Amino acid sequence: MRKPFIAGNWKMNTDAAGASALAAGLAKALAGVTTVDVAVCPPFVYLQRVAEALAGSTIRLGAQDVYFEDNGAFTGEISCAMLKDVCCTYVIVGHSERRHVIGETDALINKKVAAVIASGLQPILCAGELLEEREAGKTESVVAGQIRKGLAGITAEQMAAVTIAYEPVWAIGTGRTATAAQAQEVHAMIRELLGEMYNERVAAQTRIQYGGSAKPSNTAELMANADVDGLLVGGAGLKVDDFAAMIKTVA
Ligand code: PGA
């Protein structure tokens, strides 16, 4: 009932030629794949050329961030309308690197989620605990708090647009993947939380991705979990062969 959804977060990687080549390579490698929703999220400046390289394919385009205002004096920021202009479907919001490196707050993330949904784009809301929070037994309270605050004011109907990504910060870019059991435990907690915050229908329909050193060799194990509906992929999403292999494993 929940269609698997795998997204590549390219972060601050690639260059103009590399972004086009990666997108074109994926479009070719994944031609005919219809049982998995696939998206790539390149840096802002390459969105347009990646959109061109993906034309005619089923791979969707996503942005890595957005600003919540419509337009105006916000130097350096990008609006939802601009992302729609370059054919984006998804926007990653509240990635841990934006929370912990750039300093985004839950309040800002919530404004972004609301603006993304209002614009007709679809947010991928990220949540995840730091290693010291996990070791202190705070995983559930940290993740639940980020999700509650990130989704404040979002209605059950609007939740149809939302994907949640559980990304334990200690697993991102470290090669240290959460075990399938660790991922499932948090994903099940998130689904239960959505049931409490909304209703059973929202809990059952919302896709929850796992992110953090996901790669071809652990894709099947992670995706075998009942509540893991997809992956948000960093490093392995930068190689056509690896990303395509992950999607084909799931398809
Ligand atoms: P990683 O990144 O796959 O390189 O660990 C995942 C993410 O941050 O989305």
Among residues 97, 104, 133, 167, the one annotated as catalytic is: 167
pLDDT digits (tens, 9 = 90+) for 185-200: 999 999 999 999 999 9
pLDDT tens string 16-58: 999 999 999 999 999 999 999 999 999 999 999 999 999 999 9
For the segment 99-115, the average pLDDT, to the nearest whole number, is: 98
Count CA within 13 A, CB hemisphere, residue 105: 3
Give yes or no for residue 211 CB within 6 A of ligand 1.
yes
CB-CB contact of 197 with 151 (8 Å): yes
Is the pLDDT assigned to residue 251 strictly greater than 90?
yes
Q: How far is CA 43 from CA 16, 18, 63, 212, 236, in A?
A: 10, 12, 7, 19, 16
Average of pLDDT values for 93-117?
A: 98
Tokens read off for 56: 């005619």
Centre of ligand 1 from the C-alpha of residue 155, in Å: 29
235 in contact with ligand 1, CB cutoff 6 A: yes
Query: Which of 95, 104, 133, 187 is the catalytic position?
Result: 95
Ramachandran bin of 14, using left for φ above 0, alpha for ψ from -120 to 50, beta for the remaining angles: left
Determine the 3-state secondary structure of 55 from DSSP.
coil
* Predicted confidence (pLDDT) at residue 117 exceeds the cutoff of 90: yes
Determine the 3-state secondary structure of 29 from DSSP: helix
Q: Which domains does the chain have, with CATH numbers?
A: 5-250 (3.20.20.70)
Q: What are residue 90's DSSP bridge partners? A: 62, 122
Task: Return the ligand 1 atom nearest residue 126 CA.
Answer: 9
Q: Is 135 tagged catalytic?
A: no
211 Cα to the center of ligand 1, angstroms: 6
Split at pLDDT 50, 70, 90, the class of 173 is confident
204-241 pLDDT tens trace: 999 999 999 999 999 999 999 999 999 999 999 999 99
Pocket flag, ligand 1, residue 172 (CB < 6 Å)? yes
